[in-house]
Chains A and B, each alone.
Chain A
Amino acid sequence: MQSIRSRNNESEKVMKTILLMSIGLSALSPLLLSAVAPGTHPRDYPGPAWSPYLVGGLIGVLSMFTFYFSDKPLGASTGYARLAGLLGRAVAPKHTDSLKFYKDNKPAVDWEVMLVLGAILGAFLAAWQGNELTGEWLPAMWAARFGAGSLTLRLGAALVGGIFMAFGARLAGGCTSGHGISGTMQLSVGSWIAVICFFAGGIATALLMFRF
């Protein structure tokens, strides 16, 4: 058992190095081996309730259903853009209507908005059923790294992160679901490029936040 575990750890290190090199960040790998703050390892915390393969397979099947019944690919970021447009219209209707993006994509409560709202409810039901409701403002791993009193920093990072992410998603043409799942499964070249860049930007930033 011990040997299997250490062999797994060995091979995982090898894999990490390969992945890092493949995105041109090989220079960072020695720094990964330095000691890090306790409690900042993701595997110190609970894993998924269901097998990721079961969940992934069911999301693949769900995609088939959305294509067949709604003629739509799964995609979450569009819903936020529609909601932002609705809010913009309520505050500055003329200005919002003059923007190119909202001329091409009329703000409305549509399929994508309902998908996002439904996802909030669905996740609540899953967490409730599985006794995994958190009700917390600060994720434990964040608190282990930045301190229990870092709520302002957390909310600021989340807000700025959300702004970057939505801007990037609209520029790239989709998010982790629209490009990362729906686009890649349809073999779109742009989706594969986008998802590689999602991870490249994310890995570099997360390592800076948690491993330096």
Chain B
Amino acid sequence: MTVSTQPHAPSASLPVDKGGPEQDSPAKREFSANQLLLGAFFGVIFGFLLQKGGVAKYHILVGVLLLEDFTVVKVMLTAIIVGSIGIFSLHALGLVKLHIKPTRYAANIIGGLLFGVGFALLGYCPGTGAAALGQGNWDAIAGVLGLMAGSYLFAECSAWLGKTVMKWGDRGKLMLPELLGMRLSAFLLIFVPVLIVVLVAVDRFTAR
């Protein structure tokens, strides 16, 4: 009888291929007219849906931050529930690769809070800002210029940030089931119903 001497590895509980490194590989960078066209096509649908969902409207986006309009929460939670089931099903069938973003505690928290402050000041986020511009909210033009300026400002600081903040608490491609030491399927069986209950509660207890 052999006794496993392998130390407890969290990843052992989660036999999931989380995709390769997120950097651009030469193959990815290779010009592909088809993919550009597909990107534009998916963008049109994305923008169409955002506008129809009301999340290109200033008052609806600021409304969620004032906790007075929960349209954004309803859109996001439904997308997460449907997408989670869909993506993990496709992945189980071997049809898609996952694209797990790295967990970096300090960068996620500091960047997230900065993003939030900017979100309230602008009233649109990067995706909904494009949609707001499309529906004729011209103030989004200033937002788009700011988004480009902020991106470049980050690039200016990227060498330093990469050596400091982005190294603090870098956990790599960490997933919730892994953090809790659960199998993916077991986690989803609990997680998806919990999200549905939250969604029903939000629907039941909010006016919009």
Contacts and interface: CB of A to CB of B under 8 A. Distances in A.
B39 A118 contact: yes
Contact of A42 (B62, B76, B121, B158): B62
Interface size bracket, B side: 35 or more
Contacts of B138: 135-137
A73 B100 CA distance: 9
A127 B145 contact: no
B193 interface: no
Interface size bracket, A side: 35 or more
Nearest to A64: B86
B205 A158 contact: no
For B83, B102, B144, the residue with the greatest tally of chain A CB atoms inside 10 Å of its CB is B83
Interface string B95-123: 11111111111011111111111111111
A194 B106 CA distance: 10
A69 B44 CA distance: 15
Given A111-B35, A162-B150, A194-B112, A71 B97 contact: yes
Given A62-B42, A77-B126, A43 B69 contact: yes
A119 interface: yes
Interface in A162-197: 162-197
Contacts of B118: 160-168
Contacts of A66: 42
B39 A64 contact: no
For B49, B78, B95, the residue with the greatest tally of chain A CB atoms inside 10 Å of its CB is B49
Contact of B86 (A9, A63, A205): A63
A45 B57 contact: yes
A84 B86 CA distance: 33
Contacts of A209: 120-121
Nearest to A130: B52
A106 to B, nearest CB: 6
Contact of B205 (A8, A63, A163): A8
A14 interface: yes
B181 interface: no
A155 interface: yes
Nearest to B99: A73
B179 A61 contact: no
Interface string A7-43: 0110110111001100000000000000000000111
Interface in B150-186: 150-156, 158-159, 161-162, 165-166, 171, 173-179, 184
A43 B115 contact: no
Given A20-B67, A99-B155, A172 B111 contact: yes
Given A68-B95, A164-B121, 9 more contacts: A52-B75, A101-B154, A111-B39, A127-B135, A157-B121, A172-B107, A190-B105, A194-B115, A202-B120
